[in-house]
Amino acid sequence: MLLEARNIGKSFTGVRALDGVDFDVRPGEVHVLLGENGAGKSTLVKVLAGVHAPDTGTVERRGSLAVIHQELTLVPQLSVAENLFLGRPPRRFGIVDKARMREDAKALLDRVGLDVDPTTPVQDLGIAGQQMVEIARALSLNAQLLVLDEPTAVLTDTETDRLLDIMSELRAQGVGLVFITHHLDEIRRVADRITVLRDGRSVGTLPGTATVEHMIELMVGRTIDEQYPRRRTEPGEVLFKVEGLTRRGAFHDVSFHVRAGEVVGVAGLVGAGRTEVVRAAFGVDPYDSGTVEVAGRQVPRHDVQAAVRAGLGLVPEDRKGQGLVLTSTVADNLGLVTMKASTRAGLVDRRGQRERAAGMAKSLRVKASGLGQQVRELSGGNQQKVVIGKWLLADPRVLVLDEPTRGVDVGAKVEIYELVNRMTAAGRAVVLVSSDLPEVIGMSDRVVVMAHGRVAGELPGGTTQDKVMALAVQEFPA
């Protein structure tokens, strides 16, 4: 065994991320780590790499381990060779020996099958080439264990093929590989063993020959109960209509509609283009063709203010990066969207704004010391309530929620679901983008499933997770 982890447990501020997980890697094998978002894969990798100390259990490692993340850690302006030997270039008399560096780099690049001049700046390589450089660097550090954390999410099909080939090659050289991916077909091609995580527990280790159905069953296998208190209302007229929305390289011919009083979920794997579509519909990013309509009227392209005027709202997936002004107070954040409407002759009606913010904070039960508290000091769930609250104050006809419960504790989750019910009861339309399958199934009246930037299909609410996953992993001809 290159790596042997036994009975790993890890909690973060009371939330159990890992519970009694066993995991091992042999030399010359590809061991796939499979699970839904939030199942504990990243935490396990961090424990294996020594970033987090486990609360319980032991990790034994023979040989060094390197993790290749989705976000690369190369210096774009430096050459391939300089990146490979970053911080430890071969030296002669204290001076960097460039000739030797190039030779050594060439040998390493051969190992990963990357045929480029070592003096090429890394930024000219493209994302796949950069990944290879990163892998080569790990090998140059004598890593016998490689963890590849969703490397194929950013690759094209041909690039993925090459990466899978190189993984087989490295396996033949005796390297142990841990491979994280959501694409089940890739697993079937390279996996020797598959360990499935669910809710922080290892629910089984399958042979590489396991069927896709078997994998999905282990991965989801959870029943939906009253965690999702969706109260349906009779759907009315179509309030939101996206028709043939296309942006080259991001999403293609995406169409769906939402009626008044309806919640439409948008499910799909990370990278399926869900966030890109809703951002484009809301005017944050441009699109090449297609139309967006609110209550029958077309919304201008790439114009957030027009979208807001038309009655659209977006709670973005990146709460801190795009939803909140962290340096400002709860009141100021709650008033951000309505500020314009409560301005007369350039002057903001601050008292009115404060009163409305106070009312909203109270009705959302935002736990803060006061309206003057900075939002950065609130918990994740309360921050999210503030982001949703600023939109509720504007009372949009259509509210798009992108991963509204990510990093939110269970209690606040249910409160957010109740807000969704409140909106639909008032005849508004809600789009719920979520990677949390039970949530998107439990809270939506219909579920649109996206794969590779396209709508793969639509399912009724309360459908099964297997059906959603089957659509989500669907491949489209290129």
Partner 1 sequence: MTTVASRKNVKVLSDNGALAGLLVLVVALSLLAPSFLTTQNLLNVGVQAAVVAVLAFGSTFVIVSGGIDLSVGSVAALSAMVGAWSSAEAGLPGPVALLLGLGTGVVAGLVNGALVSYGKLPAFIATLAMLSVARGLTLVVSQGSPTTTPDVVSFLGSNLTPYLPVPLLVMLVFFGITGFVLSRTYSGRAMYAIGGNEEAARLSGIDVRRQKLVIYALSGLFAAVAGMLLAGRLSSAGPQAAVGYELDAIAAVVIGGASLSGGVGRATGTLVGALVLAVLRNGLNQLQVSPFWQQVVIGAVIALAVLLDTLRRRTR
CB distance 171 to 146 below 8 Å? no
Question: Hey, how many other C-beta atoms are within 10 angstroms of the C-beta on 209?
Answer: 10
Q: Identify which range of 92-100, 211-219, 373-381, 432-440 contacts partner 1 by CB under 8 A.
A: 373-381
Q: Does 56 bind partner 1 (CB under 8 A)?
A: no
C-beta of 289 vs 343, nearer to partner 1: 343
Cβ(49)–Cβ(190) under 8 Å? no
Give the tokens for residue 409: 């504790």
Taking CB under 8 A as the rule, does residue 340 contact partner 1?
Answer: yes
Nearest to 384 by CA among 298, 259, 392: 392
Closest CA to 400 of 421, 429, 423, 431: 431
From residue 376 to residue 415, what is the string marking binding to partner 1 with x (rule CB under 8 A)?
A: -x------------x-------------------------
CB of residue 363 to partner 1, shortest distance in Å: 20
> 């939330």: which residue's tokens?
15
Distance CA 266, CA 275 (A): 9
By three-state DSSP, how is residue 181 classified? coil
CA triple 325-327-332, angle to 5 deg: 60
Judged by beta carbon, residue 309 or residue 467, the one nearer partner 1 is 309
Residue indicated by tokens 């400002």:
328
Q: Specify burial of residue 349 (Cβ count, 10 A radius: 0-12, 13-18, 19+).
A: middle
**Which one of 10-18, 47-55, 60-68, 303-311 is the stretch in contact with partner 1 (CB under 8 A)?**
303-311
How many other C-beta atoms are found inside a 10 Å radius of the C-beta of residue 323?
23
328 part of the interface to partner 1, by CB under 8 A: yes
Q: Is 373 in the site for partner 1 (CB under 8 A)?
A: yes
Q: 198 or 390, CB closer to partner 1?
A: 390
Q: Judged by CB under 8 A, does residue 323 bind partner 1?
A: yes
User: Nearest approach, Cβ of 79 to partner 1 (angstroms)?
Assistant: 27
Answer yes or no whether residue 321 interacts with partner 1 by CB under 8 A: yes
Contact residue for partner 1 among 110, 369, 411, 426 (CB under 8 A) = 369
292 binds partner 1 (CB under 8 A): no
Contact flag: residue 355 with partner 1 (CB under 8 A): no
Site for partner 1 in 264-283 (CB under 8 A): 282
Q: Which stretch binds partner 1 (CB under 8 A): 233-241, 244-252, 304-312, 421-429?
A: 304-312
Dump the DSSP string for 357-383.
HHHHHHHTT---S-TTSBGGGS-HHHH
Q: What is the DSSP string of 2-64?
A: -EEEEEEEEEETTEEEEEEEEEEE-TT-EEEEE--TTSSHHHHHHHHHTSS--SEEEEEESSE
Report, in Å, the least distance between residue 304 CB and partner 1.
Answer: 6
Total of residues contacting partner 1 (CB under 8 A): 34
Contact with partner 1 (CB under 8 A) among 159, 192, 293, 332: 332
- Residue 417: closest CA among 446, 398, 450, 441: 441
User: Looking at beta carbons only, is 2 or 336 nearer to partner 1?
Assistant: 336
Q: Minimum distance between the CB of residue 311 and partner 1, rounded to whole angstroms?
A: 12
For residue 176, give the H/E element and its range.
Answer: strand 176-180
> Which whole-number Å values give the CA distances from 353 to 6, 282, 331, 356, 378, in the listed order?
55, 25, 8, 5, 20
Residue 358 within binding range of partner 1, rule CB under 8 A:
no
Residue of 34, 125, 20, 23 lying closest to 74 (CA atoms): 125
Q: Mask of contacts with partner 1, 436-465, x by CB under 8 A?
A: ------------------------------
Site map 60..89 versus partner 1, x via CB under 8 A: ------------------------------
Minimum distance from CB of 395 to partner 1 (Å)? Answer: 13
Give the binding range for partner 1 (CB under 8 A) out of 123-131, 205-213, 322-330, 457-465: 322-330
Nearest distance from residue 177's CB to partner 1, in Å? 37
- Give the number of C-alpha atoms closer than 13 A to the C-alpha of residue 216, restricted to the C-beta side: 17
Is 154 one of the binding residues for partner 1 (CB under 8 A)? no
Positions in the binding site for partner 1 (CB under 8 A): 282, 284, 304-305, 307-309, 314, 316, 321-328, 332, 336-337, 339-340, 343, 346-348, 350, 369-370, 372-374, 377, 390
